[in-house]
Structure 1
Amino acid sequence: MPLSADRKKQFRSIGHNLKPVVTVADNGLTEGVLKELNRALNDHELIKVKLAVTEREDRNAVIEQIKALPKVEVIQQVGKIALVYKPAKEPNPKLSNLLR
C-alpha cells in the first residue's frame, strides 16, 4: 500500500538531517551494494542513498531498480540523493530513524 502524502512529508522532514549510508557508484546495484542496502533498510527503515552515477539516465535506472525491490519505496530524489523507506518487521528503537 503506497504511503499517504502526509506520511511522505513526515519522512522527508526526518530524512532532511540524515547522512547517506549507502553509495551506488558507476557499477550500479551490484550484489554487495544490494546486500548493504537491504541491511541498512532493515536496521534504519528510512535511509539516504547517494547515487554517485554521472549520467542522469543511469541514475534514473538505478532508482527504478531500487523501486522494484520488495516493500521498498523511494520517498524523494533530489539530484544525486534518494530517500528510501522500507518498513521493518521488528523495528529496533536504537537503530530506527523513525523511532528516535
Structure 2
Amino acid sequence: MLTGKQKRFLRSKAHHLDPIFQVGKGGTNTNMYKQIEDALEARELIKVSVLQNCEEDKDSVAEQLTHNTRADLVQVIGNTIVLYKESKNQKTIELPS
C-alpha cells in the first residue's frame, strides 16, 4: 500500500508519460492483464487510457486492473489510470519513505 507522499511522488513521475494501453469496447481480459504485468515489470509505472466506447466505468476498470495485476493504483484522472508495481529485476524508481 502506497502512502500519500509516495503517490504524490509517482504522480509527478507519471505526468510526462503517455498511455501505453487502451481499454475499449471489449473491456479488460486475461491477455491484457498479462501484458500489463509484463509492462509493469519493465517500467514500474504506466498509464492506461479508458476509451469513451468502453462499456465499463473507469473506476471499475481501475479496480479490475489493480486486482488482477497486483499493482498499486496511483491515480485515476479523467479517463487515464496510473498504475505502479515495484519491479523484481529492473528496479529504477526509488520511492520516498
TM range (shorter): 0.7 to 0.9
Q: Give the SS at the match of 2:47.
A: strand
Q: Name the aligned partner's letter for residue 70 of structure 2.
A: K
Shift of 1:61: 1.8
- Runs of 4+ that moved beyond 3 A: 53-57
C-alpha separation between the residues in 2 aligned to 1:9 and 1:16?
11
| Residue pair 2:36, 2:69 contacting (<8 A) in 1 also | no
Q: Name the aligned partner's letter for residue 31 of structure 2.
A: G
Shift of 1:50: 0.6
> Who is 1:23 aligned against?
22
Shift of 1:32: 2.5
What is the TM-score of this pair, normalised by structure 1? 0.81
Q: Give the SS at the match of 2:88.
A: coil
> Who is 1:71 aligned against?
70
What is the TM-score of this pair, normalised by structure 2? 0.83
Q: CA RMSD in A?
A: 2.0
| Residue pair 2:34, 2:69 contacting (<8 A) in 1 also | no
| Residue pair 1:15, 1:83 contacting (<8 A) in 2 also | yes
